[in-house]
């Protein structure tokens, strides 16, 4: 299918859903009882997605929020409540029927929130060519929309363009554990089901980084469907556009000139290629110091003005070792989705961003511990087919 054919098929299906009420994508977990207190049912009935806009919990009054693929407006209206009357919300969508619905309900939402006038604007446009000014947005959200865009790299570039330095995104989307085959890519129905356009996890992460984002990491993830051995996941991912050299945000980070990895990884390679070894202080520049203030990094590092080495007996040192005994291979795989390009555990297993790695039962138990589990997506490819046998551990790091 050509890109314009894909776009047309998706637009027609979502336009039809306004009147038919067809369920799209997968359950999103909204608290409809709360939202119903200020959002009309007409909007709630056509709310589709694969996650919740968790990034809205970080919004400060007065900020500007952009929703890519705003649909009937549910996420925009929730953003409107959180940014307050001095804030601004922009929703973009390519479907006239969705835009008409959202625009019609905006005055009602503003009245319910006690605002003198709506602070939400809905614009017609496409995710890969957004009608939004450069560096004008503090937060980008999107709910199960980017996978519908034929050119996702263009979407990522547009996201980077419209974000202010120091801005952030939190988007929910559908990804796959491997490339989607041609027979699904050329199936127009599967495009509307949020399947055919799903990128492999590694390609999604790499696309965001290529666009310029840093700190790309998983916020949460749930399995969705398995089709012909392809695992699809509903995943929420966040990341940041680094501050410029002149940003006042950097003033608060000037005192942090060294970063010491505390664990639980034994070493990591950051997105800029710098390696950090647990316990060893490493000099960082001001931009990295600002970035490492984010929660996805801060829990892994000790940030100091002067070099501060750690030893294994230091209470800040974090290491999670596997239990003794044989390995069991049950068909489990792990995908590293943390904010680093590469990470290593204490058994010298190397996890590269977005690449599925087969793991044994002992490694799965290690990765389930706090400190690890938020940075991995774990799934099983064998199911009942695995005939589990014990395996002796090797000393070469290939088996824990």
* pLDDT 10s digits, 247-273: 544 455 556 899 999 999 999 999 999
Whether pLDDT at 191 is above 60: no
Runs of H (alpha helix) within the chain = 3-20, 32-35, 41-44, 74-83, 96-113, 152-162, 182-185, 188-192, 201-211, 286-291, 295-298, 361-367
Of 279 and 184, the structure prediction assigns the larger pLDDT to: 279
Residues 263 and 358 in one domain: no
Domain boundary among 240, 258, 279: 240
pLDDT of res. 16: 46
- Looking at the structure of the chain, the number of domains it has is 3
Residues 166 and 118 in one domain: yes
Q: Is residue 313 part of a domain?
A: no
Please give the Cα distance from 8 to 146 (Å, whole number).
15
Residues 225 and 347 in one domain: no
**Which two structure tokens, joined as six digits, stand for 77?**
């209206």
Domain boundary among 268, 289, 304: 304
Strands, sheet with 281-283, edge to edge from the N-terminal-most edge strand: 281-283, 258-261, 301-304
Whether pLDDT at 135 is above 70: yes
Of 149 and 135, the structure prediction assigns the larger pLDDT to: 135
pLDDT of res. 326: 87
**Which two structure tokens, joined as six digits, stand for 94?**
């390519």
pLDDT of res. 374: 92
Domain boundary among 217, 240, 263: 240
Q: What is the DSSP pairing of strand 332-336 with strand 376-380? A: antiparallel
Residues 258 and 125 in one domain: no
Residues 89 and 157 in one domain: yes
Residues 177 and 39 in one domain: yes
Cα-Cα end-to-end distance for the chain: 46
Burial (CB count <10 Å: 0-12, 13-18, 19+), residue 57: exposed
Of 218 and 30, the structure prediction assigns the larger pLDDT to: 218
Residues 110 and 219 in one domain: yes
Whether pLDDT at 190 is above 70: no
Q: 3-class SS at 383?
A: helix
**Which two structure tokens, joined as six digits, stand for 11?**
């637009």
pLDDT of res. 251: 53
Mean pLDDT of 25-43: 79
Q: Is residue 319 part of a domain?
A: no
Residues 355 and 375 in one domain: yes
Please give the Cα distance from 384 to 387 (Å, whole number).
8
Of 250 and 383, the structure prediction assigns the larger pLDDT to: 383
Residues 235 and 253 in one domain: no
Whether pLDDT at 55 is above 70: yes
Q: Is residue 357 part of a domain?
A: yes
Closest residue by Cα to residue 25 from 184, 177, 198? 198
Residue 137 and residue 98 in contact, taking contact as beta carbons nearer than 8 Å: no
Lowest mean pLDDT among 46-50, 221-225, 243-247, 395-399: 395-399
Mean pLDDT of 316-325: 92
* CATH, residue 290: 3.40.5.100
CA distances from 293 to 214, 272, 273, 298, 387 (A): 13, 16, 18, 6, 46
Q: Is residue 322 part of a domain?
A: no
pLDDT of res. 129: 96
Whether pLDDT at 10 is above 90: no
Domain encompassing residue 376: 327-391
pLDDT of res. 256: 84
Residues 120 and 255 in one domain: no
Whether pLDDT at 230 is above 60: yes
Mean pLDDT of 220-224: 90
pLDDT of res. 166: 93
pLDDT of res. 45: 83
Whether pLDDT at 15 is above 80: no
pLDDT of res. 46: 78
Of 207 and 19, the structure prediction assigns the larger pLDDT to: 207
pLDDT of res. 34: 87
Residues 172 and 279 in one domain: no
- pTM for the whole thing? 0.88
Lowest mean pLDDT among 19-23, 86-90, 123-127, 303-307: 19-23
Q: What is the DSSP pairing of strand 88-93 with strand 120-124? A: parallel
DSSP state, 249?
A: G
Per-residue pLDDT band for 196 (boundaries 50, 70, 90) equals confident
Per-residue pLDDT band for 3 (boundaries 50, 70, 90) equals low
Q: Is residue 310 part of a domain?
A: no
pLDDT of res. 399: 58
Residues 225 and 263 in one domain: no
DSSP state, 177?
A: S
Mean pLDDT of 300-324: 95
Of 385 and 118, the structure prediction assigns the larger pLDDT to: 118
pLDDT of res. 243: 80
Mean pLDDT, rounded, of the chain: 87
Mean pLDDT of 113-127: 97
């Amino acid at each position: 299918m050509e890109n314009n054919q894909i776009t047309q098929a998706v637009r027609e299906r979502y336009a039809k859903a306004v009147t038919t009420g067809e369920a799209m994508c997968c359950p999103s977990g909204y608290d409809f009882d709360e939202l119903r207190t200020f959002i009309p049912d007409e909007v709630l009935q056509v709310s589709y997605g694969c996650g919740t806009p968790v990034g809205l919990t970080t919004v400060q009054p007065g900020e500007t929020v952009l929703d890519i693929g705003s649909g009937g407006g549910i996420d925009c209206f929730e953003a409107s409540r959180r940014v307050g009357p001095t804030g601004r919300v922009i929703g973009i969508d390519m479907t006239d029927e969705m835009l008409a619905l959202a625009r019609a309900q905006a005055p009602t939402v503003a009245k319910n929130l006690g605002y003198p006038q709506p602070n939400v604007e809905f614009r017609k446009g496409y995710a890969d060519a957004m009608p939004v000014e450069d560096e004008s947005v503090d937060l980008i959200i999107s709910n199960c929309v980017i996978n519908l865009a034929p050119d996702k790299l263009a979407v990522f570039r547009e996201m980077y363009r419209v974000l202010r330095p120091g801005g952030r995104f939190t988007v929910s989307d559908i990804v796959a554990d491997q490339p989607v085959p041609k027979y699904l890519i050329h199936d127009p129905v599967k495009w509307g089901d949020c399947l055919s356009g799903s990128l492999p996890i590694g390609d999604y992460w790499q696309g965001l980084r290529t666009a310029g984002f840093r700190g790309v990491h998983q916020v949460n993830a749930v399995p969705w469907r398995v089709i012909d051995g392809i695992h699809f996941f509903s995943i929420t991912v966040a990341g940041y556009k680094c501050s410029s050299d002149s940003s006042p945000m950097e003033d608060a980070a000037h005192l942090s000139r060294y970063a010491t990895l505390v664990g639980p990884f034994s070493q990591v390679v950051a997105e800029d290629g710098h390696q950090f070894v647990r316990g060893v202080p490493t000099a960082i520049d001001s931009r990295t110091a600002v970035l490492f203030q984010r929660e996805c990094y801060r829990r892994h590092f000790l940030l100091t003005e002067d070099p501060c080495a750690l030893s294994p007996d230091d209470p800040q040192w974090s290491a999670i070792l596997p239990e003794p005994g044989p390995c069991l291979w049950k068909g489990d795989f792990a995908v590293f989705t943390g904010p680093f390009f590469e990470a290593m555990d204490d058994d010298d297993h190397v996890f590269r961003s977005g690449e599925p790695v087969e793991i044994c039962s002992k490694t799965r138990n290690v990765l389930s511990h706090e400190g690890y589990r938020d940075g991995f997506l774990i799934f099983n490819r064998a199911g009942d087919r695995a005939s589990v046998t014990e395996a002796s551990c090797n000393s070469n790091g290939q088996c824990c």
